[in-house]
Amino acid sequence: MKSSLLVLPFLLGACASTQVAKQFRYISYEDTPTPQKSVGNIEGRDCSWSVLGYSMGQPTVRSAFSNAVAQRTEGFIPGQSGETKGSQLKTFKNVTVEDDGFHAWVVGRTCVVVAGEGYL
């Protein structure tokens, strides 16, 4: 019984990325944040593909945030990196984290989407 209680947090922690991270009011990437210029709504996503039910990786909230901050689009083909639309953000406000994707019979795509208002 005690050993199962010790393993439970590790199992829950592995599945909790988008369940825990839902909404953030303010995220800064500077020591002394001073939001200056709004660039509008920014979206970052990290996706993984599955073929015949076999997953080719797991999307992470960290990679989705990294893509949002760098204003980098995600490539549609697996392994392809997208293009960068602008300079790196300094502040991110009113951030939401959601799951997205599709599942067809043969192929599927699972994504973590991070969206919010970005500032330079």
User: Each residue of 20-54: b (16+ CB within 10 Å) or e?
Assistant: ebeeeeebeeeeeeebeeeeeebbbbbbbbbeeee
pLDDT of residue 76: 62
Residue-wise pLDDT tens digits, 24-83: 667 776 777 776 788 889 999 999 899 998 988 889 988 888 888 888 876 666 666 666
pLDDT of residue 22: 63
Sort strands 107-119 and 91-103 into parallel, antiparallel or unpaired: antiparallel
Residue-wise pLDDT tens digits, 74-118: 666 666 666 677 778 888 888 889 999 998 889 999 999 999 998
Q: 40 and 119 in contact (C-beta within 8 Å)?
A: no
Q: 92 and 52 in contact (C-beta within 8 Å)?
A: no
- Global pTM? 0.71
Res. 11 pLDDT band, cuts 50 70 90: very low
Given a cut of 50, whether residue 7 has pLDDT beyond it is no
